[in-house]
Amino acid sequence: MTMSLLRQSATELLRQLNAGGTTSTELTHAFLDQILKHDPQVKAFLRVDRQQALDRAAEIDRRRGDGKPLGLLAGLPVAIKDLLCTRGEVTTCGSRILEDFKPPYDATVIARLKAADAVLIGKTNMDEFAMGSSTENSAFKKTANPWDLSRIPGGSSGGSAACVAAGMAPLSVGSDTGGSIRQPAGLCGVTGLKPTYGRVSRYGLVAFASSLDQIGPLARTAEDAALLLEVLAGHDPLDSTSIDRPAPKYTQTVGQPLKDLKIGLVREHFGEGLDAEVEKAVREAVRVYESLGARVHDVSLPHGKYGIATYYIIAPSEASSNLARYDGVHYGHRTDEKKMIAALDAERAALVAAGKDTEAAALDSPLVRMYRASRAEGFGPEVKRRIMLGTYALSAGYYDAYYLKALKVRRLIRQDYDEAFKKVDVIAGPVTATTAFELGEKVDDPLAMYLVDLYTVSANLTGFAGISFPAGFASDGLPIGLQLQAPPFEEERLLRAAHMFQQVTDWHQRYPPMVA
């Protein structure tokens, strides 16, 4: 019984809950047990509050039993990427600098999940400040891919993707700044959607790059992603970039197939570097759509090749500004001041004793020392690299050459997409050039790690919507994802298209052996 629960879609679990076939307590237990059993190896979670989840499940069961009205997710466990503020509960963003941070408020999406009667089951591992493509930049642990524990789960929402793939939660929430929902979803064989910029409130999301960040769902199926997105999406006066237009009822439309779908295949996507097995799976997936009546058109995104360069100027620039708040005073870890002042005094005394008075006078003040030491101790190497890159790109002498230029290229990329979407309804292509790589394989090569985002960053630069879902397996047994992109606010189209595919394929119903 327990085992079969882990293999159900969230939509199916909800049906069973409402029909009295199971209880929230029973299924929360099942997922928590799976976590106990397999998370020591997968390491998808940073924290799991077992008792709190079970209390919440029991409360929802009681309300259901009493015939009280319930929210859309009533009793379903949901895992949360650890960069969404949860009131009174530690929210680390994968960083030492926020190791003890307990937000005094809930992010809007957390408030919405609570109002929808979700059971929040735990906080998931991630790259520090969402900077990374493998979750190896977490300050706390390295998450493994449930399909092969020697491989990365993708990132930065690696914990959120791995826990769904491993049957530890039916639904999870992630964030996507350059691919961090779609890429781990692709590499772990689950469905992940990055909504249009402005569709989901960012209030209470620990900011990385504010013009690129979006929160979105990870799930087994498109239907499940529709269910979760329906709860997450909608206008929020607390986020000035949140769009004031009603969010559709995704669950009501996801089952409607799209007729005469026009699919764009991007000429530039099928070049050097794309793994042959990934290409084959993508082309076969497109043939599945053709068999469902879709027509394929050739499109060109000529500026796409500048996507990575553009993203890696804009994202670090915004990050360097956003992360200025972690100084040990406003937010975050503060260095041991007594030790720091004693060290400073000793340094000064030594310089004076050596007759180097000018150097002694030039030493940092205790305040500056405190900022420096706090940030040096709190941030990991990748975060420091981004802060330096961004500060450089924004500096007076280089702003025009880098940041401003990047903004202009961003506009050109957007124009390519606008042109393409005059011809087609969705753009189909790979999520990543290869399947999941080995843990440790790229940690010493930041550039190689950045290139992993080749196919995903454009949707963030344009702000458009994108979805990734399972479309095959490589000969090494690892999942391959298909990405679909759509014009702004066409999440509905993406979900319907993915659902159509999932009606006639079973890639999304395969489970790694640990989900017995």
Catalytic residue among 9, 133, 138, 156: 156
Closest by CA to 508, choosing from 454, 458, 467, 455, is 467
Task: Give the position of tokens 């679909």.
Answer: 484
Secondary element (H or E) of residue 4: helix 2-6
What's the closest the beta carbon of residue 133 comes to ligand GLN, in angstroms?
Answer: 4
What's the closest the beta carbon of residue 157 comes to ligand GLN, in angstroms?
Answer: 7
CA angle 107, 108, 112 (to 5 degrees): 120
What's the closest the beta carbon of residue 136 comes to ligand GLN, in angstroms?
Answer: 11
Query: Between 219 and 454, whose beta carbon lies closer to ligand GLN?
Result: 454
* Edge-to-edge order in the sheet of strand 426-430: 45-48, 119-124, 77-81, 171-176, 214-219, 191-194, 465-473, 479-486, 426-430, 262-266, 295-299
What's the closest the beta carbon of residue 235 comes to ligand GLN, in angstroms?
Answer: 24
Task: Look up 240 and say whether it is catalytic.
Answer: no
- For residue 216, what are the CA distances in angstroms to 230, 349, 408, 497? 10, 55, 27, 17
Query: Between 289 and 464, whose beta carbon lies closer to ligand GLN?
Result: 464
* Contact residues: ligand GLN, CB under 6 A: 130-133, 156, 176-180, 208, 315, 453
Task: Look up 180 and say whether it is catalytic.
Answer: yes
Check: CB of residue 345 under 8 Å from CB of residue 448.
Answer: no
Task: Look up 156 and say whether it is catalytic.
Answer: yes
Query: Between 119 and 454, whose beta carbon lies closer to ligand GLN?
Result: 454
Query: Between 61 and 318, whose beta carbon lies closer to ligand GLN?
Result: 318
Catalytic residue among 9, 43, 81, 201: 81
Closest by CA to 406, choosing from 194, 241, 414, is 414
What's the closest the beta carbon of residue 455 comes to ligand GLN, in angstroms?
Answer: 12
Query: Between 155 and 512, whose beta carbon lies closer to ligand GLN?
Result: 155
What's the closest the beta carbon of residue 458 comes to ligand GLN, in angstroms?
Answer: 12
Q: Map residue 79 onto helix, strand or coil.
A: strand
Catalytic residue among 133, 160, 172, 180: 180
Indicate the burial class of 59 (C-beta count within 10 angstroms; 0-12, 13-18, 19 or more): middle
Query: Between 77 and 192, whose beta carbon lies closer to ligand GLN?
Result: 192
What's the closest the beta carbon of residue 195 comes to ligand GLN, in angstroms?
Answer: 13
Query: Between 138 and 177, whose beta carbon lies closer to ligand GLN?
Result: 177
What tokens appear for 346 in the block? 């000793």
Q: What DSSP string runs through 377-439?
A: HHS-HHHHHHHHHHHHHHSTTTTIIIIIHHHHHHHHHHHHHHHHHHH-SEEEEESSSSS--BT
Check: CB of residue 501 under 8 Å from CB of residue 484.
Answer: no
Report the half-sphere exposure of 21 (CA within 13 A, side-chain side): 13
Check: CB of residue 213 under 8 Å from CB of residue 494.
Answer: no
Check: CB of residue 436 under 8 Å from CB of residue 147.
Answer: yes
CA angle 193, 199, 200 (to 5 degrees): 80
What's the closest the beta carbon of residue 178 comes to ligand GLN, in angstroms?
Answer: 3
Round to whole Å and give the CA distance between 41 and 20. Answer: 34
| Per-residue 3-state assignment (H helix, E strand, C coil) for 263-318 | EEEEHHHHCCCCCHHHHHHHHHHHHHHHHCCCEEEEECCHHHHHHHHHHHHHHHHH
Query: Between 33 and 239, whose beta carbon lies closer to ligand GLN?
Result: 239
Instruction: Show which residues are catalytic.
Output: 81, 156, 180
